[in-house]
Amino acid sequence: MFKRILIANRGEIALRVIRTAREMGVECVSVYSDLDVHSLHTRMGHLAVPLGGDLPATSYLVAEKILAAAAKTGAEAIHPGYGFLSENAEFARAVVKRGLTWIGPPPGAIELMGDKIASRRAMLAAGVPLVPGLTDPVTDVDAALEAAKEIGFPIMIKAAAGGGGKGIRIVRDGAEMASAFRTASGEATSAFGDGRLYLERFLENPRHIEVQVMFDEHGGAVHYGERECSIQRRHQKLLEESPGPTVDADLRARLGEVALRVGAAAGYVGAGTVEFLMVGDEFFFLEMNTRLQVEHPVTEMVTGIDLVRDQLEIAAGEKLARAQADIELRGHAIEVRINAEDVSAGFLPATGTIRNLRLPAGPWVRVDSCMYNGLEVGLSYDPLLAKIIVWGADRGKAIERCRRALEELNVGGVRTSAPALLAVLREPEFRAGNFSTQFLEGLDLTSREGPEERLVAALAVVHRRAGARRRALSMDSGGRQGWLARGRAHQARQDSWEGGR
């Protein structure tokens, strides 16, 4: 096993890797930008190396800075987390070239799966079911229109590179094609430096199901069951659960078999996720994410397996610690993403300074978080602040536990996605398991305040008025002290609620 690894990431995923590595006796090197000098991952690493810069382009995305930090600290391996350089094949090659171990799949597998067109071709050759569409990029609007007529409307224009919902547009008829094509191409070029597009048939009301897989260097391969990821906004996941509420043992076995076939066709090693779109019990390959997923904790909760430990052991050349028959799903787990977003404004990014932070706790509640009081939340990085993961003996109990945990949460000073998540958990159709990737679009999240949100809003108004009165009295020292003396108990009650809307 490694003595020291470098984590080329920040926030909650850096903390997640640090915690497992510490349990394994592995030292961790944290790297940080100028904005992250006080961040929790910076403080929790055994060593911390400044990268300089504030934006990702001048810090976490500069491969040479990461490699220099590894050389300076004597790190033997690099764990990329997710995002940033985690799916950059050239960076993976550079890590190996420097004599370090890349804690991830081979660069060739990253390259193949990072190109949606090349991966479609490879999966077609491997007999993997695909959404009807193209295996070649379209170069202009006219070519896209001709292809769409053959595939059949509605179609989805998709970026050949990248992921995360970027460079994707739905086109329902030919009149929408020109605008959608230009927009998707421009977005893909800006996000990935690659404006190539291809077309797939748009499946109406599908479910988004993914399968966690792990491969070692000795021919071993297992899957850890599926995750249901259909609760999304702008093609980005907001809530995930395992097992899928509509997946039975037979379908799970079929999904797992195809997922392992996908990984084998890519020459895969390490942790990965194979994503499918599903209509009824028919499923189609969507893509493979060549890294650890944000939602991996729900799989850990239902299997009792530490996926980061498996990652580290395999990267160190060890065999998989278990066979497929050893993996069993028990109970039900749900993860919700706490993003710095204003739900009432259409999930636009939110900024501010976190205060009066209260994280949920209790039986079978896990919080993976990078938040602390005083954290400045800006627009430089991903809006993900925390993940709340709960386990229950069945799905109903998991939903109630998740709802309770969200009601316990308080993040003052920054608006978050919590109100939208509470609305989803209360929705009868979600509780019944009747939903698709379009589910969130059908909810009016701005008019679904429950009693908790109304109480929070009322108390916040009281707090603001009290603050205004304190400021007015501050001109008179005696008056101010008298107000503080009379209002200290009242203020303490309000502080725990401010900003919790």
List pLDDT tens digits, range 373-420. Answer: 999 999 999 999 999 999 999 999 999 999 999 999 999 999 999 999
Evaluate whether the domain defined by 132-201 bears CATH number 3.40.50.1390. no
The predicted model gives 455-484 an average pLDDT of 45
Contact criterion met (CB below 8 Å) for 454 and 501: no
The predicted model gives 135-162 an average pLDDT of 89
The H-assigned helical ranges of 239-358 are 249-265, 296-303, 307-315
The H-assigned helical ranges of 290-373 are 296-303, 307-315
- What is the pLDDT at residue 443? 82
CA–CA gap between residue 42 and residue 249 (Å, rounded): 43
Span between the terminal Cα atoms of the chain, in Å = 46
Nearest to 41 by CA among 20, 77, 10: 10
* Statement: residue 266 has pLDDT above 80: yes
Single-letter amino acid, residue 141: V
- What is the pLDDT at residue 494? 37
β 27-32/47-50 pair status: parallel
pLDDT band (50, 70, 90) for residue 448: very low
Least confident among 189-198, 204-213, 405-414, 446-455: 446-455
The H-assigned helical ranges of 364-495 are 395-408, 418-426, 428-431, 451-473, 477-495
The H-assigned helical ranges of 327-450 are 395-408, 418-426, 428-431
The predicted model gives 113-126 an average pLDDT of 92
The predicted model gives 337-354 an average pLDDT of 95
Dihedral sign from CA coordinates of 500, 341, 15, 232: positive
Rg of the chain over all Cα atoms, to the nearest angstrom: 24
* Statement: residue 162 has pLDDT above 90: no
Least confident among 116-120, 222-226, 404-408: 116-120
Phi first, then psi: give them for residue 497, nearest 5 degrees.
-105, -25
CA–CA gap between residue 174 and residue 159 (Å, rounded): 19
Report how far apart, in Å, the C-alpha atoms of 362 and of each of 153, 395, 405, 425, 426 are.
49, 18, 8, 19, 21
429 CB neighbour count, 10 Å cutoff: 12
β 236-242/332-339 pair status: antiparallel
Least confident among 98-107, 147-156, 309-318: 147-156
Q: pLDDT for 43-95, tens place per residue?
A: 999 999 999 999 999 999 999 999 999 999 999 999 999 999 999 999 999 99
Dihedral of CA atoms 307, 312, 314, 317 in degrees, nearest 10, equals: -170
Least confident among 106-120, 171-185, 412-426, 439-453: 439-453
- What is the pLDDT at residue 469? 52
Coil/strand/helix, residue 304: coil
- What is the pLDDT at residue 465? 52
> Residue 143: in which H helix or E strand, if any?
helix 141-151
Topology (CATH) of 207-447: D-amino Acid Aminotransferase; Chain A, domain 1 (3.30.470)
Instruction: Give domain 4-103's CATH architecture.
Output: 3-Layer(aba) Sandwich (3.40)
- What is the pLDDT at residue 449? 47
Q: Which two tokens stand for residue 250?
A: 């037979």
* Statement: residue 280 has pLDDT above 90: no
Report how far apart, in Å, the C-alpha atoms of 42 and of each of 50, 60, 61 are.
9, 13, 17
- What is the pLDDT at residue 108? 97
The predicted model gives 275-290 an average pLDDT of 94
The predicted model gives 441-448 an average pLDDT of 68
* Statement: residue 470 has pLDDT above 60: no
Phi first, then psi: give them for residue 125, nearest 5 degrees.
-65, -30
* Statement: residue 120 has pLDDT above 60: yes
> Residue 44: in which H helix or E strand, if any?
helix 40-44
- What is the pLDDT at residue 446? 60
Least confident among 308-312, 430-434, 454-458: 454-458
Phi first, then psi: give them for residue 60, nearest 5 degrees.
-70, -15
* Statement: residue 451 has pLDDT above 70: no
Of 16 and 501, the one with more pLDDT: 16
> Residue 412: in which H helix or E strand, if any?
strand 410-412
pLDDT band (50, 70, 90) for residue 234: confident
b vs e for 94-124, b when ≥16 Cβ sit within 10 Å of the residue's Cβ?
Answer: bbeeeebbbbbbbbebbbbbbbbbebbebbe
Q: Which two tokens stand for residue 206?
A: 């599908």
Contact criterion met (CB below 8 Å) for 423 and 458: no
The mean predicted confidence, pLDDT, of the chain is 89
Dihedral sign from CA coordinates of 31, 56, 381, 300: negative
CA–CA gap between residue 141 and residue 250 (Å, rounded): 42
CA–CA gap between residue 123 and residue 284 (Å, rounded): 11
* Statement: residue 468 has pLDDT above 80: no
Q: Which two tokens stand for residue 100?
A: 């370090």
